[in-house]
Amino acid sequence: MESTQPVTRRTSCPLDCPDLCSLDVSLANGRIVEIAGSPEHPITQGYICRKVRHYADHVYSDLRLTTPGRRVGPKGEGAFEPISWDEALTEVVVQMRAAIDRHGAEAILPYCYGGSNGKITQDANDARLFRRLGASRLARTVCAAPTGRAFDGLYGKMPGVAFPDYVHAQLIVVWGANPNASGIHLVPFIRRAQKAGSKLVVVDPRNTPLAKQADLHLPIRPGTDVVVALSVIRWLFDTKAADEVFLSKHATGATELRKRASQWTFERSAELAQISPGLLEQFARMYAEANPAVIRCGWGLERNRNGGSAATAVMALPAVAGKFGVRGGGFTMSNSAAWQLGSDAAINEPEPATRIVNMNQLGRTLLEECNPPVSVLFVYNSNPLATSPSQRRIRQGLCRTDLFTIVFDQVMTDTARYADIVLPATTFLEHTDYRVGYGTGYLSKVAPVMDAIGESRPNYEVFAELCDRMGLHRPDDPVAPEAIFQQLIGPNHDRGWSPEELEESGWLPPPTGTNPIQFRDVLPITVDQKVHLVPESLDREAPGGLFHYQPDPAQHTDALVLISPATGSTVSSTLGQLNGRQVPLELHPQDAAVRGIAEGDTVRVFN
Ligand SMILES: Nc1nc2c(c(=O)[nH]1)N[C@H]1C(S)=C(S)[C@@H](COP(=O)(O)OP(=O)(O)OC[C@H]3O[C@@H](n4cnc5c(=O)[nH]c(N)nc54)[C@H](O)[C@@H]3O)O[C@H]1N2
Ligand SMILES: Nc1nc2c(c(=O)[nH]1)N[C@H]1C(S)=C(S)[C@@H](COP(=O)(O)OP(=O)(O)OC[C@H]3O[C@@H](n4cnc5c(=O)[nH]c(N)nc54)[C@H](O)[C@@H]3O)O[C@H]1N2
Ligand SMILES: [Mo]
């Protein structure tokens, strides 16, 4: 791909973000000179976030892995000697075979999340390898698990209100989301709506940029969203502001929801949320009166106690208040289900019924006695030492001398320092992928715009080679990105679009329409096409039943709740190696004052 003339190539940014921007990357002599947002893309609209404009710093980072490496010092030190791909993969195969001989294939644990990966670099050739091996399976719980279950239980992942339709809303509620950091393309639509007279409510413990510009900010104590939402639901029913006509036609469980909400007066909820009951009542009135009203439900609320019930209660609000059926009314959660792409067909191997390890319990799994023990850990598309809970235990587990750890990543991550073998991965500017934007619902092509750095290789190549070396390859396996994609999209006659269109423009709008009106153009994808306000499956699973409030043991101590939200300079821990300085802790000035803490002090936080 060398070229002396500057060239501009189109691709998409698959980093974990709702926006899935379309990019125009300019290169000279094969090196990136500029990364810009494509002006033609209806959501990107010609601008992108700062961190992706500077993504070349990551591509050319000093900490970039450029060759496979074998550990030379103690685990954790991060000292590796360069080895060839052949040596590295030979070693991986030897270790996997040894683990299988000693304990069976469940002793192999693949650990990946793939938040910043599309359909080709995650759950394709990698999944085929681990399924055929019969390795342990991983429950992907580190993000979106409670919210996703809530959304699915209520609405079967019905498409949400499109960001451009926010301009039609009279009231916008941003609940546990901070799009100024976590998906910037929603912000201008909110600002435009405000200029046109729309009101803005933000429910967030922190004073986020949108909270500062809101008509009403509910700075609730983290973990109390469920009782806040239930108090509004109770009030809607009690004051006859609930939309009984809508509920009888389109919902199940309304009577049960009303019963469960009935104890949550504004006073009781406000006491737990540590705000004034008057604020809750003000919010309930604003929400009841405004039409259209839309709720942007984020992922912040799921990161605390009661998160699943909280997300369920928040997403039940538009049904109870009858906010659907108009443009700019309803809610947005995730639109990742906009495209039904058959990943099993691409994997070409059914899922085995092997042991499931919860990724949030990696430390425990590595340290505690389990049968079989995890003796080979294969980490890719993830950096658990930075992103998974109980860091100290994970670190201890990674230090186990009888554990063989492979880390396949673009840079020397926190986790990679504990690896026995590191494998260098390409970035999205160097490989092919296809991804659905979980905010936009667009399907986009990630196309390589430059040669791979050093000896780095894409996931699909490395996992296909490992499959081959383990003797597990079959002639009918789709291996190349194009072949995998063909399997994902299925035969021609089932589609209302052509793959050529996608290759041409780089993106396709969601097949359900770019801006569907909920309960007019789209209905819940549940068996009866109704919203299930108290889904039985969730009710069984939630501790104490759905909408049960589990008190925070620290509520009446002077402990504070630690929040570690998305920031503008990293994506989870990705790009973290570029942010050398210490992470600032933000405290409310009053909370700081009573603890004798001043601006610039060094503090120790723990839980
Ligand atoms: N720049 C950038 N963008 C990202 C990411 C990133 O790391 N950096 N991460 C990506 C990923 S993986 C995800 S999942 C999304 C997440 O994007 P968001 O949905 O915006 O989630 P968070 O940033 O975790 O939290 C959002 C807000 O919730 C608040 N919050 C915390 N606890 C509670 C609570 O109990 N109740 C309420 N009501 N609010 C609470 C936080 O203060 C924060 O302002 O962003 C994606 N986009
Ligand atoms: N303290 C704290 N913890 C968090 C969060 C937080 O905000 N604060 N956020 C939570 C959330 S919302 C999420 S989604 C999770 C995410 O947690 P992780 O899944 O660990 O995500 P990242 O930290 O982005 O790490 C992804 C890694 O994959 C690598 N990678 C990217 N693409 C490829 C590829 O094609 N091939 C290979 N081999 N490697 C690749 C990147 O270089 C990066 O090191 O973290 C959660 N944990
Ligand atoms: Mo996430």
Helices (H), 84-195: 85-103, 125-133, 145-155, 179-182, 187-195
* DSSP conformation class of 61: -
* Cα–ligand 2 centroid distance for 387 (angstroms): 7
- 571 C-alpha to center of ligand 2: Å? 7
**Architecture of the domain whose range is 7-59:** 2-Layer Sandwich (3.30)
Q: Among 336, 390, 564, 572, name the best residue to mutate to test ligand 2's pocket (greatest count of ligand atoms within 8 A of Cβ).
A: 572
pLDDT at 1: 59
Residue type, 606: F
* Side-chain half-sphere exposure of 544, counting CA atoms within 13 A: 10
Rounded to 5 degrees, φ, ψ at 475 are -60, -30
Say if residues 105 and 134 touch (Cβ distance below 8 Å): yes
Ligand 1 centroid to residue 120 C-alpha, Å = 26
Q: Which residues line ligand 1 (CB under 6 A)?
A: 16-17, 115, 143, 175-178, 181-183, 203-206, 208, 222-223, 225, 298-301, 303-304, 563, 565-568, 570-572
Q: What is the DSSP letter of 576?
A: G
Any atom of ligand 2 within 6 Å of the Cβ of 405: no
CATH 3.40.50.740 residue spans of the chain: 69-136+354-438+453-500
Rg (CA), the chain: 25
- Residue 85: phi and psi, rounded to 5, are -60, -40
**Residue in this structure with the two tokens 């003000």, named with its chain if needed:** 282
Q: Give CA separation, 36 vs 115, 215, 344, 569, in Å.
A: 22, 34, 35, 17
Pocket test for ligand 1, best of 55, 204, 221, 574 (most atoms within 8 A of CB): 204
Which fold would CATH assign to domain 69-136+354-438+453-500? Answer: Rossmann fold (3.40.50)
Mutate to test the pocket of ligand 1, among 143, 182, 202 (most ligand atoms within 8 A of CB): 182
* CA 441 – CA 189 distance, rounded (Å): 17
Q: What pLDDT is recorded for position 556? A: 79
500 and 357 Cβ atoms separated by less than 8 Å: no
The ligand 1 atom at the shortest distance from the C-alpha of residue 115 is 12
Q: What angle do CA 113, 385, 369 make, to 5 degrees?
A: 90
146-336+516-541 classified as CATH 3.40.228.10:
yes
Closest ligand to residue 229's CA: 1
Atom of ligand 1 nearest to the CA of 304: 35
Measure 381 CA to ligand 2 centroid, in angstroms: 7
pLDDT < 50 stretches in the chain: none
CA 317 to chain centre: 23
Tell me the C-alpha distance between 455 and 175, whole Å: 44
Report how far ligand 2's centroid is from the alpha carbon of 115 (Å).
6
Distance 305 CA to ligand 3 centre (A): 17
Q: What are phi and psi of 407, to 5 degrees?
A: -120, 125
Q: What is the DSSP letter of 107?
A: G
**Is any atom of ligand 2 closer than 6 Å to the C-beta of 111?**
no
Extract the tokens encoding 251: 């919902």
Bridging pattern class, strands 330-332 and 293-297: parallel
Ligand 2 atom nearest to 431, measured from its CA: 35
Which strands form 443-446's sheet, in the order they lie side by side? 433-436, 443-446, 507-508
Distances (CA, A) of 549 to 22, 177, 206: 42, 21, 22
Q: What is the pLDDT of residue 2?
A: 56
In the chain, residues under CATH classification 3.30.200.210 are: 7-59
Backbone angles phi, psi at 95, to 5 degrees: -70, -40
Domain with CATH 3.40.228.10 in the chain: 146-336+516-541
